[in-house]
Amino acid sequence: MSAGEGLSAVRRRLRREAEGDGLGLTLLSGAIAAAVLSPVAWLFLRVVDIPATEALSLLTAPSTTRVLTNSVLLVTAVTAASVLLGVPLAVLTVRTDLPARRFFTVVLALPLVVPSYIGAFAFVSAFGPRGALADVLAPLGIERLPEIYGLPGATLVLTLYIYPYVFLTTRAALLSLDASLVEAARTLGEGRLGAFRQVTFPRIVPGIAAGGLLVALYTLSDFGTPAIMQVDVFTSYIYVAYNGFAADQAALLSLQLLGVTTVILALESRIGQDDASAYASGGGGAATRIRLGAWRWVAALACLAVTAVALVLPVAVLLLWLFRGGPGYAGGGFPFELAFAVNSVGVSAAAALVSVVLAVPVGYVAARRSSLPARLAERATYVGYAVPGVVLGLALVFFGVKFAPALYQTLPLLVFAYVVRFLPQAVGTASSSVLQVDRQLLEAARALGESPGRAFRRVTLPLIWPGVLAGAALVFLTTMKELPATLLLRPTGFETLVSYIWQVQEAGYYGLAAVPALTLIAVSALSMAVILAQERR
C-alpha cells in the first residue's frame, strides 16, 4: 500500500474486498449451518416410511392438536413471564440505587445454572400436596394447598429457572446504552418514565427479544419440567412415541415441532432485525442512577423473594437429601466419583470451545452482511436448539453408525451433539458483539497497512472477546446440564454428573443425587461468574 493512498480510496478498496471476503465467509457460515442442521435430515429419512394418510391423521389428531396447543400456551406464558420478571430485575440492577446491586446481579442470574428438572423436583417437594410446606401448615389446620400441577405451575417453575436469559440480555443492552441519549431526552423535558419509553425501551427491545428467543426455544424443547409438573406438552408426546418403539412417529412429530420453531424464529427476527445488542455488552457512558427512595427496600425484598424460590429452595432441598436421604432407598447403588465432575467439565469446555470457533464466523457474517443467505445461516443454527434431545441423539446414533462408526460412542460425536444443540447461544453473543465494533476502527487499521486477517485479530477480536467469552460460558453451563444426548451418545463407561444423577434417581436413590447436583450447580456458578465479569461497568 502506498503511503499516499487517501482514506476514501482505502474505503473503496475495503468495500470491494469485503464483497470478496463476504462470499467466502458467507459460504463458510452456510457450511457451518448445514453441518449443524444435518441431523435434521434423519427426521425426513424416518418420515418417508409413513403412509401419507397415516401421517396426516397423526398430525391432525385431536390429541396432537391438544398437546400442540398446550406447548404454544406454555411457550407464550413462560416467555411473557420471563420478560415481565427479567426486564424489571435487569433495570433494577443496572439503572437504580438498589441496595447490594452486585450481590443481586449475581444471585438473580444464578437460577440459570440449576437444571430445571432438579428445580421442578425441588419445587414439588416443597410445595406439592404432601411437600414440606404442607407439613408445616398442617398443624395450623390448612389441609389442602393450591394446586401446583398443571399449566400455571409449569409456567411458574420454568420461568423461575430460565428467566435469567432475559435478565442477562436485557442487562447487557442497558449497559451498552449510550447514557447521553437518556440525558438528552431529559433535557428536552421528558419525565423519567417518558425518557424510558421514548429512548431506553426501543433500544433494549432487541436485547429482550434475544433473551426471549432463548427462553421460548428452551421451553419448547424441555421435557423434564412439564413431565414433573404433569402437563402434556409436545415434547412429552414425542417422548412417549419414541419410548413406544415408534421412532417414525417421533420423527414426524419433531418435524411439526420444527414448524413451530420456524415461526418463533421468524417472529424474533422481525423484532431483533436491527439488534443493537444481545447479551454481550458494549461501552457507553454510565447513566445516572434512578433514585428509588424508600421503594429501594421494597425492590430489594422482591429480589430476595425471587432468589429464595429460584435458588435457595432447590439448594436447600438438595442439602436436605444430603443429610436426611431422599425418598426411596438410603444406601447401596453406585458411589459418586470425582471423575464424573471432571468428565462433565471436560466435555462442556470442549463444547464451549468448538461452539465459539464456529459461532464467530456465523455471527460475524450475520452482523456485517444483510444478505438473505447470511441471515438464513444464522437463523438455521437455532433449529438444533429446539429439537428434543432424544430425537437429536437418535439421529446422531444413526448417522454415527452409518457414516462414522469410528466416532460413534466417542467424545467427538458427543461434543458435536452439544454444539448442534447449543451453538445459537454463542452465535447470538458473537453477532451482537460484532455489531458493536466501530467500523471506523477497522478502516483505520487497514489504512495503517494491516492485512484483513491481522486487522481482525488485532482490532475486532479484542473488542468482541468479552461477548465471545460470555457465549462460551452460556454453552458451557447448558452443556453441564444436558441429559438426553449425553445418555445416548456418551462413550460406554464415561459417566458425567448428569448421567450419574439420572442413574441414581432412576434406581430410586434420590439421596445420592444431592452431591453431584450440588457440584453441578457450584461448577456452573463459576461459569456464570465469567459471564458477569465480562460486563463492563
Partner 1 sequence: MTERPGARDGSRRTRRRFLAATGTASAAALAGCSGFLGGDGGDGGDGGDGPGGDSLDDFRGSGANVGGRGEISGTRMDDLPDLSGQLNIYLGGGEGGLYTDLLSLLSDRYPEFNPNHRLEPSAQLASKISEEESGDGSFADVFWAVDAGSLASVASQGYTRALPDDVVSPVPEQFRPDDAWVGVAGRARAVPYNTNQLSESDIPDTVRQFPDTSALQGAMGWAPSYSSFQAFVTAMRLLRGDQATRQWLTSMQDAGVSSYNNEFLVSNAVADGEIAAGFANHYYALRVKAARPDAPIDLAFTSGDAGALVNVSGAEVLRGTEKVDLAENFIAHLLTVEAQEFFATRTFAYPMISGVPPVGGLPRIDELSPPDVDLSRLSDVEGTIDVLRDAGAL
Q: How far is the CB of 49 from partner 1 (least distance, A)?
A: 11
Out of 83, 177, 209, 241, the only residue in the binding site for partner 1 (CB under 8 A) is 241
Which of 118, 9, 89 has the alpha carbon at shortest distance from 519? 118
Q: Determine, following the binding rule CB under 8 A, whether residue 246 of this chain makes contact with partner 1.
A: yes
Q: How far is the CB of 66 from partner 1 (least distance, A)?
A: 8
Q: Determine, following the binding rule CB under 8 A, whether residue 506 of this chain makes contact with partner 1.
A: yes
Is 134 or 463 the residue whose CB approaches partner 1 more closely? 134
Q: CA-to-CA distance for 105 and 108, rounded, in angstroms?
A: 6
Is 104 or 509 the residue whose CB approaches partner 1 more closely? 509
Q: Which cell is 346 given? A: 471436560
Q: Which part of the chain contacts partner 1 (CB under 8 A), choosing from 205-213, 234-242, 284-292, 439-447?
A: 234-242
Q: How many residues bind partner 1 (CB under 8 A)?
A: 52
Q: How far is the CB of 491 from partner 1 (least distance, A)?
A: 9
Within residues 413-472, the interface with partner 1 by CB under 8 A covers: none
DSSP, res 49 = T
Judged by DSSP in three states, 328 sits in: strand
Is 374 or 488 the residue whose CB approaches partner 1 more closely? 488
Q: Which cell is 294 given? A: 424508600
3-class SS shares of the chain: helix, strand, coil, % to 5? 75, 0, 25
Q: How far is the CB of 75 from partner 1 (least distance, A)?
A: 20
Q: How far is the CB of 69 from partner 1 (least distance, A)?
A: 14
Under 8 Å CB-to-CB from 372, ≥6 apart: which residues? Answer: none
Q: Determine, following the binding rule CB under 8 A, whether residue 397 of this chain makes contact with partner 1.
A: yes
DSSP calls for 56-94? HHHHT-HHHHHHHHHHHHHHHHHHHHHHHHHHHHHHHHH
Within residues 328-357, the interface with partner 1 by CB under 8 A covers: 328-334
Out of 202, 244, 283, 449, the only residue in the binding site for partner 1 (CB under 8 A) is 244
Q: Which part of the chain contacts partner 1 (CB under 8 A), choosing from 99-107, 293-301, 395-403, 426-434?
A: 395-403
Under 8 Å CB-to-CB from 267, ≥6 apart: which residues? Answer: none
Q: Which cell is 355 given? A: 461452539
Q: Determine, following the binding rule CB under 8 A, whether residue 20 of this chain makes contact with partner 1.
A: no
Instruction: Map grid coordinates 444483510 to a residue.
Output: 370
Instruction: Map grid coordinates 442413574 to a residue.
Output: 503
Q: How far is the CB of 401 from partner 1 (least distance, A)?
A: 3
Q: Determine, following the binding rule CB under 8 A, whether residue 236 of this chain makes contact with partner 1.
A: yes
> Helix H segments across 201-337?
201-221, 224-228, 234-243, 247-271, 295-307, 313-324
Q: How far is the CB of 316 from partner 1 (least distance, A)?
A: 21
Q: Determine, following the binding rule CB under 8 A, whether residue 401 of this chain makes contact with partner 1.
A: yes
432, 275 in Cβ contact below 8 A? Answer: yes
Q: How far is the CB of 181 from partner 1 (least distance, A)?
A: 51
Out of 219, 249, 432, 534, the only residue in the binding site for partner 1 (CB under 8 A) is 249
Q: CA-to-CA distance for 419 and 285, rounded, in angstroms?
A: 36
Alpha carbon 264 to chain centroid, angstroms: 15
Q: Determine, following the binding rule CB under 8 A, whether residue 492 of this chain makes contact with partner 1.
A: yes
Under 8 Å CB-to-CB from 154, ≥6 apart: which residues? Answer: 74, 225, 226, 229, 231
Which of 224, 217, 242, 195 has the alpha carbon at shortest distance from 392? 242
Out of 96, 230, 262, 410, the only residue in the binding site for partner 1 (CB under 8 A) is 230
Out of 4, 141, 293, 327, the only residue in the binding site for partner 1 (CB under 8 A) is 327
Binding positions for partner 1, rule: CB under 8 A: 61, 63, 66, 129-130, 227-228, 230, 232, 236-237, 239-247, 249, 327-334, 390, 394, 397-402, 405, 408-409, 487-488, 490, 492-493, 502-504, 506-509
